Amino acid sequence: MRQLRKIIDDILDDLNTSSSDFYTIESFCDDWCFIIKKNDSKCIKIFGYTFDLNDSVTCEICRDKAICSEILLKNNIPSVYHKVFYKDNNFEDIALYCEKIKYPVVVKKNDGGCGNYIFYTKNKEELKDNVQKIFIMDKILSIAKYEEIIDEYRFLMLNGELKLCYKKKRNHIVGDGVSTIKKLLMNKECNIPVNFNENIILKKGEIFIINWQHNLSHGAEPEIVNDVDPEMLKIAKETVKVLNLKVGCVDIIINNSFEKKVLEVNSGLMMDHFSQCKKRDFDYYDIAKNIYKKVILESFKNITK
C-alpha cells in the first residue's frame, strides 16, 4: 500500500469516529489518484501528492524549475536561477553558457522531482553525457550554477502560514582516526559522493558528507526546526504569495557565502519518507498525518466558498 493511502485511511477513520460527517475514499491507478467524498455529496481530488486546493497553472509553474526561478527573481525573491534549454538547441550553446557561469554546474530534468535526474557536472565532457541522459527521455532541461550548500530547509506551507519546517540532514559518516573513508563506507548503504579520496583517514569525530544531495529519498534525515529563521520564513511566505500557492513546500538553502535562496518550490506535499523516519525525537508519522488532515479539511472548506 502506498504510504499516502495509509495515512489518508487513518485520517478518515479518525474523522468518521469524531464527527457527524461520513468520509469515503476511491482509489485509482494503484493509489496514485484519490477522490475523497464527504457525505456522498462534496468531493476533493488528490493526484500524486497534489491537492486541488492549488489551481492548475500554479502547479505547472512550480513543476517548471526555470519558469519558477524567473518569476521569483523578478519579484525580488532570492532564488537559484535555472536556465532552460531544449532538445533542438545546439550543444555548443549549452556548453558556452556553462563556461560563462563556470563549472561545476547542475544539469536537471526541468520538471523532475525527488532528487532524480539531477547531475553534478564538472566539465564539458560530463556536460555532454549528462545532457544526453536527460534528452533521451525528455525534450527540455534546466541548468543551474552549482551552489555549495551548508544547509537546506523545507518549509511546508498552508494558506500562507508555516505548518512545519525541517532541515534536511545529509547522510554522513564520522571518522574514528583510524579507518579510511572506503572502510567507513563499506557498512553504509548510500550513494557515492560527488568527489572523494577513498584512502583518506578521517580524524576522530570528523564528519564526512556522503551525498551532495539533500533529498530524504537519497538518504538525508529530517531534523525538525522549532526556532525558525525569520528571514527564511519571510522568503517562504513571499514565495507562496507570489505564486498563489495554497499548499506546498518551499526549499530554501544557505550557501557557503551565507546567502539564503529558494532552491525549488513544490505544489505537491510528499511526506512519505518523513512519515517513515525512525528517529525517536518526534512522532514523524503523527506530524505528517496531522498536516495532511489539515489540508484535507481545508480542501473541503474551500469548495464551499
pLDDT of residue 197: 65
| DSSP secondary structure of the chain | --HHHHHHHHHHHHHHHHSSS-EEEEEETTTTEEEEEETTTEEEEEETTEETTS-HHHHHHHH-HHHHHHHHHHTT--B---EEEETTS-HHHHHHHHHHH-S-EEEEETT--TT-SEEEE-SHHHHHHHHHHHHTT-SEEEEEE---EEEEEEEEEETTEEEEEEEEE--EEE--SSSBHHHHHHT---PPPSS--TTPBPPTT-EEE--S---GGGT-EEEE-SS--HHHHHHHHHHHHHHT-SEEEEEEEEETT--EEEEEEESS---HHHHT---SSS-HHHHHHHHHHHHHHHHHHHTT-
pLDDT of residue 183: 74
pLDDT of residue 206: 62
Phi, psi (degrees; rounded to nearest 5) at 155: -110, 115
pLDDT of residue 289: 97
Sequence-ordered list of residues with C-beta below 8 angstroms from that of 48, at least 6 positions apart, any chain: 32, 33, 268
pLDDT of residue 49: 94
Q: Cis peptide leading into 104, omega within 30 of 0?
A: yes
pLDDT of residue 116: 73
Query: What's the whole-model pTM score?
Result: 0.86
CA distance 250 to 239: 8
What domains appear along the chain, each with residue ranges and CATH number? 49-79+148-170+212-299 (3.30.470.20), 81-146 (3.30.1490.20), 173-211 (no CATH)
pLDDT of residue 140: 95
pLDDT of residue 211: 62
Residue 80 cell numbers, joined: 537559484
Each residue's pLDDT, cut to its tens digit, for the chain (305 residues) gives: 689 999 999 999 999 999 999 999 999 999 999 999 999 888 999 999 999 999 999 999 999 999 999 999 999 999 999 999 999 999 999 999 999 999 999 999 999 765 678 899 999 999 999 999 999 989 999 999 998 888 899 999 999 999 999 998 866 666 777 777 777 776 665 555 545 667 777 677 766 666 655 455 556 788 999 999 999 999 999 999 999 999 999 999 999 899 999 999 999 999 998 999 888 899 999 999 999 999 999 999 987 55
